[in-house]
Structure formats: structure tokens, C-alpha cells
Structure 1
Amino acid sequence: MELHDVWFVLIAVLWIGYFFLEGFDFGVGVLTKLLARDRAERRVLINTIGPVWDGNEVWLLTAGGATFAAFPEWYATLFSGFYLPLLLILVCLIVRGVAFEYRAKRPEERWQTNWEHAIFWTSLLPAFLWGVAFGNIVRGVKIDAEMEYVGSLVDLLNPYALLGGLVTLTLFTFHGAVFTALKTVGDIRERARKAALGLGLLTAALALAFLLWTQAQRGDGVSLIAMIVAVASLAGAITAIRAGREGWSFALSGVTIAAAVTMLFLTLFPNVMPSSLNDAWSLTVTNASSSPYTLKIMTWCAGIATPVVLLYQGWTYWVFRKRIGTQHIADASHPSHASR
């Protein structure tokens, strides 16, 4: 296996890690409006992801940086062609981070409510737009012989990509509901389990349609296996949450995300960004990659740094593993004492 193939796999792993981790905190952000009944419950939901949300975003930074270094042509075409959607995602992530930090800085109800609205919308929009972006990458976009995107924003709003956006939105919200059930106690835990069951069924219907469409367009035998794993693990996650086994459900919903992303990358390879104008103009792991020397240096750096990052992030989740409820919110009647 060539180094550019290795880095294609590593970038896929980074996106799997990002969607697995950021997926549930996007979902929790959406649930702050759909599940929480009052200010105290919204604080509980936000506190379940408070210690980890910023660490989860490191996976996105790493995936973007790895793409820039390993496949500069892919990075350039992707970020120029998808400029507006990716800019909107970036703005959402910036505002979302500010909302988490500033929400509790002042006691006024209007101040906190506005930031809670921001958390909801800046969680919902990226969860949808990431699916639209990856749907277009897999489907193929208008790339010319100069490796430049020549389409428009309207071209990105096609039925396949929009369905992909609905799948990621519902899947991440389901993932977040399961995480909420896993991390909370009391009435909010029970409601999170019920919400997860309904969201899981909706996700299953949308995901099955999207994955079958993907398989019919670009799939092969290997991608079919990944699709079966994704569908089976999602069914298992729904069954587990119905039985009250939140830990198993969360693990299986994570497997669903991993298998689905794996399927998308399998249907891409050896392309990294197919051209819908001419297959010969597609960006591949060969024509879009950096030099072998660059990839070699990157491999050594990744081999040293990655275990350290994984150990630190794993330790963070271990430290903040306990369940919380409204009874753990200090002076819930006074928003000014809200924790991050």
C-alpha cells in the first residue's frame, strides 16, 4: 500500500472520529430545544457536553489539516467549490463556542435565552450541512480538466445531497439522545430514551434510503458489507435503547456512524472527489496527493502525536463519566450560577 493510500485511510478515520464525537454533542445541542422543558434541564444537557465539546472539534481541525498536507489539490478544490457551505459551518462552530462560554456570564434571562437559541441553531445547521457536503463529494461535482470546481451553489442542493443532510441531522440527534440518556438521571433520562426511540426509527428510514441509493450509484461488494453493518448496528442501537441499555445503544450508534462513513469512503476510493463532467477529470489519491517525502514526514509525526492525543482525550471522558441531573445544578433557580 502506497503512502497516499494510507493517508486516505487515515483521513477517513479522522472523519469517523469527528462524526462519532462531535455527532453526539451536535445532537445534544439540538435537544436543548426539543427535549429540555426548562432552564435547569437545558443546563443539564449543556453540562453533559461542557467538558468535552471543544476537544471533539480537534478531530475536525486534524482532518482539515491532514487533507491540506496530504492532498492539497483535494483541499483546494473542496474549499473553493464548497466555500459558502463550509464558511457557514465555520461561522456556526465559532458562534457555538462563544455561546457555550458566554451563556452563563450574565444573569439576565434574555441574555441566556439568546445564547441557548444560538447553541440550538449552530448545532442543527452543521449537522445538516456536513451530510450535504459529503453527499456531494460521493455523488460527484462539476470539476474541469484543471481540477477546479465550475459548478454553482445550486448544484450542491440536489436531492441526494439533501437526503444525506437529513440523515446526518437525524443520526446525530439520535446519537445525542442516547448520550443524554447515558449521562443523565431522573425524568430527563426517561424522556431522552423515549426521544431516542422515535429518532432512531426516523433515522433508520432515512439512512436506509440514502445508503441504498449510494450503493446503487457507486457501491461494490465491500461497500455493501459496510452498509449491512451500518444498518444492523442502527437496528441494534434502537433495540438496546428500548431495553434501557444506554451504554450498548451508544456504542452501536457509534458503530453505525463509523460503518456509514466507511461506506462513503469505500465508494470514493481511489477517487477523493469525483468529477460529474468527465471521469478522467476526477481527483484521485494519486493526482491530488503531496510528494512521497511530505507524506513520509507526516506519517512519522502522526505516529508520535496520535497516541498522546487519544490518551488525553480518553482520560477526559473518564474523569467526566458520571451522570448528572437537575439536582446537581447549583442553585437551579438562579441562572447566574449556571456552570459551563
Structure 2
Amino acid sequence: MDLTILWFCIVGFLFVGYFVLDGFDFGVGMSLPFLGRDDKDRRVLINTIGPIWDLNETWVIVAGAALFAAFPEWYATLFSGFYLPLLLILLALILRGVSFEYRHQRPEAAWKKRFDRMIVIGSAVPAFLWGVAFSNIVAGVPLDADHNYIGGFLALLNPYALLGGLTTLLLFFTHGVVFVSLKTDGDIRLRARRLATRSGVVTIVVAASFLLWTTLAFGTLASALLSAAAAVALIGSFLANLRAREGVAFGLMALTIGLAVLSLFFALFPDVMPASNDPANSLTIENASSSEYTLTIMSWVALIFLPLILAYQGFTYWIFRKRVTRAQIPEAAELPEAAH
């Protein structure tokens, strides 16, 4: 396989991993106002992702590093042209991480409520803006002959991109709520299952609309097939949730997000940043990639370290596989396990 194609696939795989894993983190954070009836409920929700949220977040760092090393022209155009939305994503992620660590530092309800609100914002903003960013990449943006983005921030907020942002927001929310039902017990588990049913209906409609628009306007046969498979998996997750099969529902939600992201990469290929104003200005896997020598060295590094990263991720999930219950949360305002 050509190394440029290989690294396009690796970058796609890393973003699939990030959206699947950090996606349910975002969903759990956004679910606080809906499932957190009191402080103990909110601590249960946070503790479901406490041991793993920071590990999930490292996927975007690895994806960004791989993008920078394998496709420096793509990285430069993306991060300069999409500077404001990517900065907002970064600030939101920082805000969310700080809130996990600081909400327990004082016992006052107002203090905790303030940081809970920041967790919600810090989860919703990236969930929405990642969809906006990737939708614009697939649809194409105006580029000059030097591959510089020549549009403005408001140009990124077009109807297709906004629908893409709403799609990722709803997918991640439902993914997170299903995860809560998988990781908790008692009343909060039942409420999470009911919420996943309600949000699932809306998610199916919005996601199907976005994938259909993508297929008709920008898709290929491969991306169309992946979109169809994603739609089937999403419906399957919804039905599994109705039957209280939380593990199956969560697995199918993860498959839905993975297939949907892959469909966007297949719709994009062989471009990496299409120019909407002039196809001659588009960035492709060929004119955006690093040298053959660089890609060869990176391939050997990936061959060694990617399996280790996946093994460590799987080991971490296995260790923290048990359900979180209200009985495990102490009555006193002590340091929650989730913040360690």
C-alpha cells in the first residue's frame, strides 16, 4: 500500500477512536442536568468516566500529532483556517478538565453547581464544533493557490456544517446516556435508559438527514455503504436500548459513530481539504503529505506503539468495568474517585 494512503487510513482510525471514546465522555458531561437530580447523582455520573476521560482525550493529541507529521500541509491549512473553532474546542476541553478536578474542592452547593455547569459547556461545545469542522472539510472550503483558507469564521457556519454539528452533538449525547445506563445501577440506570430512548428518536432523524445529505452531495459508493451501515447500527442500538440490552446498545452506538466518521473520510478521499472555489487549489493525500522517508519512519513507530496503546486502553477499561452506584458515594463532601 502507498504510504500516503496508509497514513490517511491511520489518521482516520485515530479520529474514529477519538470520537467513539471521547464521544461518550461528552455525552456523560452533557447529561448532568438531565440525570443529576442531586449532588450524589452527579458524582455517580462523573465517576462513570472518572478513571478514563483523560485517557480517551489523548486520542485527539495523537491524531493531531499524526496529522502534523504525515500531512503537514493539511495540518497547516486546517489549524490556520479553522483557528477560532479549534481554539474554542481547546478552551472547552481545558474548562471541562479543570472542572472535574475542582468541583470537589469546596462543599458549597453553589461552588459545585458552577463547575457542573462548566462540565456541561465543556462537553457540548466540542461535541458540536467537531461536527462543524469535519462537515466543512468534507464539503470543501475556499482556498487560494497556496492552500490558505480565504473564508471567514461565519462561512464555516453554513447549513450543512450546522447540521453536522447537531448530528455529532446528538450522537455523543445518546452515546453517553447509553454508557451511563451500562455503568450504573438502580434508579439512575432506569432514567438513563428512558432518556436514551427519547434522545435516540431525535438522533436517528437528524443523523439520517445528515448522512443522506452527505451521500447525495459529496458521497462515493463506499461512503454511501458505510452511511447505510451506520444508520442500521443506530437503529439497532435504539432497539437494544428498548430491550434493556445496555452492552449491545453501547457497542452499536460505538459502531454507529465509527462507521459515520469512516464514511466522511471515504467521501473525502483522495482529497484531504477540498477547495470549494477552485478544485486546482485542493489539498490531496499527495500534495499535502510528508516525504517518503518521513512516512517510512513513522510507519515503523506506529507498528510498535499503536498495539501498545490499544492494549493499555483495553486493560484500563477492563480494570474499571464495574458499575458505579449511589451506595459507593460517601455522604460527606470528600474527594470523588472520578477526580483522581
Range of TM-score over shorter length: over 0.9
Match in the other structure for 1:185: 185
Match in the other structure for 1:223: 223
Match in the other structure for 2:152: 152
The one-letter code of the counterpart of 2:232 is A
Match in the other structure for 1:210: 210
- Which runs of 4 or more aligned residues in structure 1 lie more than 2 Å from their structure 2 counterparts after TM superposition? 334-340
Tell me the SS of whatever aligns to 1:168: helix
Tell me the SS of whatever aligns to 1:305: helix
Q: CA deviation at 1:335?
A: 2.5
* Structure 2: 5+ residue stretches without partners: none
* Structure 1: 5+ residue stretches without partners: none
- 1:83 equivalent in alignment to 2:83: yes
Q: CA deviation at 1:202?
A: 0.5
Match in the other structure for 2:271: 271
Match in the other structure for 2:129: 129
Contact 2:105/2:335 (<8 A) preserved = no
Tell me the SS of whatever aligns to 2:272: strand
How big is each residue's C-alpha offset from its partner over 1:88-107, in whole Å with a ceiling of 9 and x where there is no partner? 00011111111111111222
Match in the other structure for 1:329: 329
Match in the other structure for 2:252: 252
TM-score calculated relative to the size of structure 2 = 0.98
Q: Trace 1:67-146 onto structure 2 (pairs within 5 A).
A: 67-146=67-146
How big is each residue's C-alpha offset from its partner over 1:116-147, in whole Å with a ceiling of 9 and x where there is no partner? 11101100111000000001001100111111
Q: CA deviation at 1:313?
A: 1.2
Match in the other structure for 1:297: 297
Q: Out of 305-314 and 24-33, give the one that drifted further.
A: 305-314
How big is each residue's C-alpha offset from its partner over 1:22-56, in whole Å with a ceiling of 9 and x where there is no partner? 00010000001122111110000000000000000
The one-letter code of the counterpart of 2:97 is G
Q: CA deviation at 1:109?
A: 1.9
Q: Out of 219-228 and 178-187, give the one that drifted further.
A: 219-228
Q: CA deviation at 1:308?
A: 1.0
Q: CA deviation at 1:336?
A: 3.6
Contact 1:3/1:292 (<8 A) preserved = yes
Give the Cα separation in 1 of the matches to 2:263 and 2:112: 41
Tell me the SS of whatever aligns to 1:106: coil
Contact 2:47/2:336 (<8 A) preserved = no
Contact 1:330/1:337 (<8 A) preserved = no
The one-letter code of the counterpart of 1:51 is P
Give the Cα separation in 2 of the matches to 1:142 and 1:5: 24
Q: Out of 99-108 and 15-24, give the one that drifted further.
A: 99-108
Give the Cα separation in 1 of the matches to 2:45 and 2:206: 26
Give the Cα separation in 2 of the matches to 1:200 and 1:156: 27
Contact 1:208/1:231 (<8 A) preserved = yes
Matched residue count: 338
Match in the other structure for 1:318: 318
The one-letter code of the counterpart of 2:237 is A
How big is each residue's C-alpha offset from its partner over 1:30-84, in whole Å with a ceiling of 9 and x where there is no partner? 0011221111100000000000000001110000000000000000000000000
Contact 1:106/1:336 (<8 A) preserved = no
Q: CA deviation at 1:108?
A: 2.1
Tell me the SS of whatever aligns to 1:290: coil
Match in the other structure for 2:237: 237
Tell me the SS of whatever aligns to 1:170: helix
Give the Cα separation in 1 of the matches to 2:213 and 2:145: 28
The one-letter code of the counterpart of 1:66 is A
How big is each residue's C-alpha offset from its partner over 1:225-279, in whole Å with a ceiling of 9 and x where there is no partner? 1011000000000000000000000000011001100100000000001000111
Match in the other structure for 2:336: 338
The one-letter code of the counterpart of 2:14 is L
The CA RMSD over aligned residues, in Å, is 0.8
Tell me the SS of whatever aligns to 1:272: strand
Q: CA deviation at 1:323?
A: 0.5
Percent identity, aligned pairs only, is 55
Q: CA deviation at 1:337?
A: 4.5
Tell me the SS of whatever aligns to 1:275: coil
Tell me the SS of whatever aligns to 1:335: coil
Give the Cα separation in 1 of the matches to 2:219 and 2:78: 22
Give the Cα separation in 2 of the matches to 1:338 and 1:67: 36
The one-letter code of the counterpart of 2:38 is D
Match in the other structure for 1:11: 11
Match in the other structure for 1:60: 60
How big is each residue's C-alpha offset from its partner over 1:287-330, in whole Å with a ceiling of 9 and x where there is no partner? 00000000000000111111111111111111110011111101
The one-letter code of the counterpart of 1:286 is E
